[in-house]
């Protein structure tokens, strides 16, 4: 900590987020840090709109490092290295009390390694643990050389890191306390001219442009097959403001009533209004489970990425709901299995078979209890953990 001219202590934190989800987490934690710190607090680093609204001036646009897939990374590697070096230089020059690296391990871990090698004395904190329980478990041992403390979203994760000598704290998952718009489904249908009795599918092909590219064609073919079975099928596609124009363009030719929304409140209202969802794998499966929306999960990536990760993944499932519940509560299809006819075959019973719907919904009851810590918000727990680490 430094002191201002009038003798008051000042806490300086550098935060680095590389994805929209990390930007949301960072913004929430920054708000709690400002509310809870007994000292003046300032922020530097990399982030998007949420973090910038809390006072962060990003060193460069976060979108520049929001990548997915081997080919994308290789193509932009020189630029990524420049951005990594820019963050390292900034930290070494300004000497913050801690650097909080939010998710995005591929970008953030090399930064941590460089900082340790160059003698940075502040705390290096990783917020959102890499999924070492799913693939490449040796990463936890490697991380112990350059990460001081890991803040985890799932209750079973800390032991993977503490046994390697790192500090680790379960802080809860922010998804568990989001303002789900329960009861807003009928209003959503009325606002968007969707009949009360019309079957409504919520389609979620991903939050990255690369995911849209890989998932949208397959998902749309599955929708058209489902449309043959359900002639009055309607479609709602929640997305982000950043991707809304691209999503609108991709869905312009779909020959059924389609609604595209980019507002967070509308997204949860759409979950409530929908009979079922078809989604790309990711944290959205937890959101859907908490909103009690039955779902089918599909996921595929480019061939080279799939070839590499097929040999590295140990988890029996890809869907977070299934991993958390340790059973296939949700049908999931990956790569060669992620094809339109199989997706349609799994989706149709969620509209036509009440017993199948209820069976899936019953398994969702345990999800929230596993994601909450001591009835406090995840941002609150995270801010308290960060301040305690700095003071220690």
pLDDT at 312: 53
Say if residue 357 is in the same domain as residue 386.
Answer: no
According to DSSP, the residues that pair with 82 across neighbouring strands are none
Give yes or no: residues 319 and 377 share one domain. Answer: no
**pLDDT tens, 184-224?**
999 999 999 999 999 999 999 988 888 888 899 999 999 99
pLDDT over threshold 70, residue 385? yes
Could you read off the pLDDT of 36-54 as tens digits, one per residue? 999 999 999 999 999 999 9
pLDDT at 370 over 70: yes
- Cβ-based neighbours of 63, under 8 Å, separated by 6 or more: 48, 242
Q: Are residues 213 and 357 in the same domain?
A: yes
Tell whether 193 and 86 lie within a shared domain.
Answer: no
Which has more pLDDT, 216 or 301? 216
Output the six-digit token pair for 114: 């460089």
Give residue 254's Cα distance to chain centre: 28
Write the pLDDT tens digit of every residue in 140-174: 999 999 999 999 999 989 999 999 999 999 999 99
> How far, in Å, CA of 135 to CA of 130, rounded?
9
Contact 54/35 with Cβ under 8 angstroms? no
Whether 163 and 191 share a structural domain = no
Which string of DSSP letters, residue by residue, matches 54-70? Answer: TT--BSS-GGGG---SH
Q: Between vectors from CA 22 to CA 321 and to CA 138, what angle results, nearest 5°?
A: 65
d(CA 80, CA 379) in angstroms, rounded, equals 29
**77, 94: one domain:** yes
Angle subtended at Cα 390 by Cα 389 and Cα 392, rounded to the nearest 5 degrees: 65
Pairing of strands 9-17, 40-46: parallel
Phi then psi dihedrals of residue 133, to 5 deg: -75, -15
Determine, yes or no, domain membership for 151: yes
Domain contains 177? no
CATH number where 154 lies: 3.40.50.2000
pLDDT of 13: 98
- pLDDT (tens digit, 9 = 90+) per residue, 265-289? 899 999 999 999 999 998 899 999 9
Residue 351 lies in a domain: yes
pLDDT-derived band at 392, boundaries 50, 70, 90: confident
Give mean pLDDT, residues 307-311.
Answer: 54
**Which of 9-23, 168-182, 295-309 shows the lowest mean pLDDT across its residues?**
295-309
C-alpha to C-alpha distance for 208 and 233, rounded to whole angstroms: 26
Is residue 178 within 8 A of residue 21, CB to CB? The reply is no
Same domain, 234 and 189: yes
How many domains, in total, are found in the chain?
A: 2
Pair 235, 223: CB distance under 8 Å: yes
Residue 85 has a pLDDT of: 96
Encode pLDDT of 90-117 as tens digits: 999 999 999 999 999 989 999 999 999 9
Is the predicted pLDDT of residue 70 greater than 80, yes or no?
A: no
- Answer whether residue 179 is part of any domain: no
Q: Are residues 138 and 219 in the same domain?
A: no
Q: Does residue 144 contact residue 174 with C-beta atoms inside 8 Å?
A: no
CB 54 within 8 A of CB 43: yes
What is the number of other CB atoms lying within 10 angstroms of the CB of residue 169? 22
> How confident is the prediction for the chain on average, in pLDDT?
90
**pLDDT at residue 302 tops 70:** no
Residues 363 and 377 in one domain: no
Give the strand pairing for 200-204 and 123-127. unpaired
In a domain, 360, yes or no: yes
> What pLDDT was estimated at residue 171?
97
Residue 180 lies in a domain: no
Residue found under tokens 């997305």:
239
308 falls within a domain: yes
Specify whether 159 is located in the same domain as 248: no
* Cβ atoms within 10 Å, residue 197: 8
Q: Are residues 359 and 265 in the same domain?
A: yes
Tell me whether residue 48 is in a domain. yes
**Domain shared by 268 and 385, yes or no:** no
In which domain, by residue range, is 76 found?
2-172+373-391
pLDDT for the residue numbered 69: 47
Regarding pTM above 0.75, the answer is: yes
Q: Are 46 and 39 in contact (CB under 8 A)?
A: no
Positive or negative, the CA dihedral 258, 263, 269, 275 is: positive
Whether the CA torsion 302, 308, 311, 317 is positive or negative: it is: negative
Nearest partner of 281 among 306, 250, 311, judged by Cα: 306
More confident residue, 69 or 347: 347
Higher pLDDT, 370 or 308: 370
User: 234 by DSSP, 3-state: which?
Assistant: strand
Whose CA is closest to 328, among 285, 291, 287, 371? 285
């Amino acid at each position: 900590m430094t002191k201002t001219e009038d003798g008051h202590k000042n806490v300086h934190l550098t935060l680095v987020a590389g994805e929209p989800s990390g930007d949301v987490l960072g913004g929430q934690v920054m708000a709690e840090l400002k509310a809870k710190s007994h000292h003046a607090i300032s922020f530097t680093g990399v982030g998007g709109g949420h973090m910038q609204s809390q006072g962060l001036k990003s060193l460069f646009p976060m979108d520049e490092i929001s990548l997915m897939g081997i080919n994308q990374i290789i193509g932009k590697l020189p630029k990524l290295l420049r951005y990594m070096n820019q963050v390292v230089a900034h930290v070494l020059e300004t000497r913050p009390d801690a650097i909080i690296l939010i998710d995005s391990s591929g970008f953030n871990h090399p930064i941590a390694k460089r900082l340790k090698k160059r003698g940075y004395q502040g705390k290096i904190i990783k917020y959102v643990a890499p999924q070492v329980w799913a693939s490449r478990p040796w990463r936890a041992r490697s991380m112990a050389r350059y990460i001081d403390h890991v803040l985890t979203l799932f209750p079973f994760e800390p032991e993977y890191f503490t046994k390697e000598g790192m500090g680790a704290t379960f802080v809860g998952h922010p998804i568990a306390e989001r303002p789900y718009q329960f009861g807003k489904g009928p209003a959503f249908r009325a606002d968007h001219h969707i009949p009360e009795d019309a079957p409504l599918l919520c389609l979620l092909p991903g939050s990255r442009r690369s995911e849209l590219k890989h998932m949208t064609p397959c998902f749309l073919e599955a929708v058209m097959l489902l449309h043959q079975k359900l002639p009055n099928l309607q479609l709602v596609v929640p997305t982000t403001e950043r991707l809304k124009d691209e999503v609108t363009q991709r869905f312009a030719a779909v020959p059924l009533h389609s609604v595209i929304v980019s507002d967070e409140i509308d997204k949860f209202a759409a979950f409530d209004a929908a009979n079922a969802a078809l989604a790309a794998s990711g944290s959205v499966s937890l959101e859907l489970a908490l909103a009690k929306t039955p779902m089918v999960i599909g996921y595929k990536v480019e061939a080279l990425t799939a070839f590499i990760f097929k040999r590295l993944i140990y988890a029996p499932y890809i869907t977070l709901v299934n991993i958390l519940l340790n059973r296939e509560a949700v049908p999931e299809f990956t790569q060669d299995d992620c094809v339109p006819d199989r997706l349609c075959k799994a989706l149709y019973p969620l509209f036509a078979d009440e017993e199948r719907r209820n069976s899936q919904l019953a398994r969702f009851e345990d999800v929230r209890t596993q994601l909450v810590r001591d009835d406090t918000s995840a941002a609150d727990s995270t801010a308290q953990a960060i301040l305690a680490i700095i003071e220690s």
